[in-house]
């Protein structure tokens, strides 16, 4: 019996670069930055005062006022991305067996803004004033649950939480579920809404964030010698992952195949990646093996590329280890985070969309702000300008605190 194949037939993106696919892709390939001074709260006293806020998001286009009051912002982003993805897929849920359709949407942190707001209310006004919706608003699985409720999706439904690898693990797990016949369609991805006082303070105090506050659009600069940390960002991306034969039979537009998935753990440190990059390299190799391909088949890698002093060099070493130095030197690599910032648990979803659009359009988006590559960062990072190229096979890397590594291999159908 041949293995069932999983393909992407719909995508929805909410991001600092735009809240629809066309705007997102246009700004990304034009090398525009979505980073700006934080406006959602007074960040004057914070070491890092910049972020990738989702300034173009209109929740009222997707949710009524009552729904919005009962959802954390991360869930609102997820609901919008899911609606866009389903519309893009052309699925008519009224005529589908929704017992065979599921949702797997995670968040690295969950409803942090809800937690902050309700804690303040409890301290100021007493425990009786905490909202009865606090717990369901803040838990990380609620986006997946509410998407299922809205669309009557009765198939598999749960939440992967693996920090910044969350969305990639979600999409890879969806692929596996379709391969083994557990479902025919999965809505998979991630969402994050962590730009608030508590979120920025936590990341800033662990020295993870860039402090280039006077030049926000140039702050996220993966592989550049002057990088000083990542830029926190919000957003969501959800894919409609569908069994290939049914997608083909209904005449769906297919962006690409989710052909391989690799998942490993560094088992090394709470926040730092393994110095050698071995765990990340194994995830890349495993995704290539899972797809039945070879390193020389890879055209493009959308790197994790966060702009941290340590992580970027380690990822470059991991690419060399996974592909071999000769092949690695010929592969195009770029970091979307140079423009979006780091959307944490949503990043793997947003970057899966980047890979799918690269395959569709034969264009690789650039790494902006790369002016002086640091020692050891000597690969082709597609600096500063998008590149037209024949893109048939992509790797998408996502690595999370706790040593979680996830790699997706996406291929032209």
DSSP per-residue letters across 39-66: -SS--TTSS--EEB--TT--GGGT--HH
Which of 19, 196, 256, 304 is an active site residue? Answer: 304
Q: Where are the beta strands (DSSP E) in 15-154?
A: 36-37, 50-51, 101-106
Which of 159, 169, 342, 355 is an active site residue? Answer: 342
DSSP one-letter code for 151: H
Percent helix / strand / coil, the chain, rounded to 5: 40, 20, 40
Q: Which of 143, 190, 141 is nearest to 164 (CA)?
A: 190
Distance of CA 312 to the CA centre of its chain: 17
- Based on the residue annotation, tell me whether 164 is a catalytic residue of this protein: yes
- Based on the residue annotation, tell me whether 169 is a catalytic residue of this protein: no
- Based on the residue annotation, tell me whether 119 is a catalytic residue of this protein: no
**How many Å apart are CA 247 and CA 54, to the nearest integer?**
32
**How many Å apart are CA 293 and CA 298, to the nearest integer?**
9
Helix boundaries (H) for 296-381: 311-323, 325-328, 337-340, 347-361
Instruction: Please answer whether residues 222 and 137 qualify as being in contact, where contact means their C-beta atoms are separated by less than 8 angstroms.
Output: no
Label residue 311 exposed, middle or buried (CB < 10 Å: 0-12, 13-18, 19+).
buried
- Cite the active site residues: 164, 304, 342
């Amino acid at each position: 019996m041949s293995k069932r194949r999983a393909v992407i037939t719909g995508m929805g993106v909410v991001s600092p670069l735009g809240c629809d696919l066309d705007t997102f892709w246009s700004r990304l390939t034009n090398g525009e930055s979505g980073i700006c001074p934080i406006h959602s709260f007074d960040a004057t006293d914070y070491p890092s005062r910049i972020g990738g806020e989702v300034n173009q998001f209109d929740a009222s286009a997707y949710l009524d006022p009552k729904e919005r009051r009962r959802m954390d912002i991360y869930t609102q982003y997820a609901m919008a991305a899911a609606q866009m993805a389903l519309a893009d897929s052309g699925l008519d849920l009224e005529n589908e067996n929704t017992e065979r359709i599921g949702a797997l949407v995670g968040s690295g942190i969950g409803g942090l803004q809800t937690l902050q707001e309700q804690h303040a209310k409890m301290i100021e006004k007493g425990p009786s004033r905490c909202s009865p919706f606090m717990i369901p608003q803040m838990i990380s699985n609620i986006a997946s649950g509410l998407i299922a409720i809205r669309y009557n999706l009765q198939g598999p439904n749960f939440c992967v939480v693996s920090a910044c690898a969350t969305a990639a693990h979600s999409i890879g797990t969806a692929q596996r579920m379709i391969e083994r016949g557990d479902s025919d369609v999965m809505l998979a991805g991630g969402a994050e809404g962590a730009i608030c006082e508590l979120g920025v303070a936590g990341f800033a105090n662990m020295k993870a964030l860039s402090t280039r506050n006077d030049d926000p659009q140039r702050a996220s600069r993966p592989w550049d010698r002057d990088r000083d940390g990542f830029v926190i960002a919000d957003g969501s991306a959800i894919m409609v992952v569908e069994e290939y034969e049914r997608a083909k039979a209904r005449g769906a537009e297919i962006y690409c195949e989710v052909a391989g998935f690799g998942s490993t753990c560094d088992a090394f440190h709470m926040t730092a990646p393994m110095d050698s990059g071995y765990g990340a390299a194994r995830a890349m190799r495993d995704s290539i093996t899972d797809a039945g391909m070879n390193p020389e088949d890879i055209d493009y890698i959308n790197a994790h590329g966060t702009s941290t002093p340590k992580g970027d060099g380690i990822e470059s070493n991991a690419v060399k280890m996974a592909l071999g130095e000769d092949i690695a030197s010929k592969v195009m690599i770029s970091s979307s985070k140079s423009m979006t910032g780091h959307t944490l648990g949503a990043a793997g979803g947003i970057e899966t969309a980047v890979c799918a659009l690269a395959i569709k359009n034969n264009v690789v988006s650039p790494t902006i702000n790369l002016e002086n590559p640091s020692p050891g960062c000597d690969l082709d990072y597609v600096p500063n300008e998008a590149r037209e190229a024949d893109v048939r096979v992509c790797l998408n890397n996502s690595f999370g605190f706790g040593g979680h590594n996830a790699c997706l291999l996406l291929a032209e159908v």
